[in-house]
Amino acid sequence: MENDEEIPLLTPFQLGPFLLNHRLRVVLAPMTRCRSYRSIPQPHAAVYYSQRATPGGLLIAEATGVSDTSMGYPCTPGIWTQEQVEAWKPIVKAVHDKGAVFFLQIWHVGRLSHTSYQPKGQAPISCSSKRAPGPSPSGDILEYSTPRALETREIPLLIQDFCTAARNAIEAGFDGVELHGAHGYLIDQFLKDGINDRTDGYGGSVENRCRFSLELVDAVAKEIGSQRIGFRFSPFSNFSDSADSNPMKLAVFLAEALNRYNILYVAEPKVKLSGEVESELWPVRRAFKGAFLAAAGFDRDSGNAAIETGLADLVVYARHFLANPDLPRRFQLNAPLNLYDRNTFFSHDPVAGYTDYPFLEESTG
């Protein structure tokens, strides 16, 4: 058995005001689990998240809607009403009782929605009127609805929705928020020239396409403090037809621009799951001066390599952490991992594929 000092993933790290100790560098990814009925977080989420919490570890809760127009998946949580805030409180407490740091990812899906999810059946909103190709990852939407392009005067109102959601997250007890600017959702729709065809100050040049993200970060930082903010982006991804013609230029420009706001971290998911450290990430890593989180496709060995080489400060795990609530301990012992069941990723069952994955003692004993 290897000890903690020999495993880069299990070494301490100071993440701004948060000391992530012992099993720190293994981070729980925000994963849409579709188990928040009527967009209200449920008691079973307290079990799910606390199972994966360890002293000094970092957990990022699933993507959570900032407004009633932000939704596009079944049974996903929100944070725009007081009822939702109150429902989150015992979940956050359960994680904090285990000694972990807990961030909430907040999002707006933008065009990746359908009129059936929108208030009064209105069209989804986006930076553009370009319709995204379906189906949705959860399979419930076969064809997305054609979005309505936001008018310039509406953009400050949208930013205010994020500010309200961030303030509500802090009221619920979260330590901070992660702004979901990746994977073809609303922030990413503004960033990518494959979608953004605006002719106002939020479209055209890379500077203009990043304007919404930077104004959003600035506003949320003023609302809750810059050291309570993470930003996830995926410049190299074309998920849901969200490609950019020059993703490296976009990535480096945005990473450098985010330095002005002194936010806590950026998270960048890999898109080529080759098992190799991705060379595309290095220029982005060097451009951003805060903590850098690498996500998607890492296993124990590649995660250790990312830390050891300096590519990442923290490594974010999704499916492996989903299926192994004690993932840091399994990495410590180099123990075998439970296999994940894709069929339950987006099911609405409060137990199966959610809180019933066995801990190491249960799976071996």
Instruction: Give the 3-state secondary structure percentages of the chain, helix then strand then coil, rounded to 5.
Output: 40, 15, 45
Strand partners, 59: 28, 102
Q: Which of 185, 202, 265, 354 is catalytic?
A: 185
* Spatial distance between the Cα atoms of 321 and 62, rounded to a whole number of angstroms: 13
Please say if 73 is a catalytic residue.
no
* Spatial distance between the Cα atoms of 118 and 11, rounded to a whole number of angstroms: 45
Strand partners, 230: 178, 265
Looking at residue 85, its amino acid is: V
φ, ψ of residue 38 in degrees (nearest 5): 55, 30
Residue 147, CA distances (Å) to 106, 113, 115, 242, 302 in order: 20, 8, 9, 15, 39
- DSSP string of 206-243, one letter each residue: HHHHTHHHHHHHHHHHHHH-GGGEEEEE-TT--TTS--
189: which 2 tokens?
């729709």
**Catalytic residue annotation:** 185
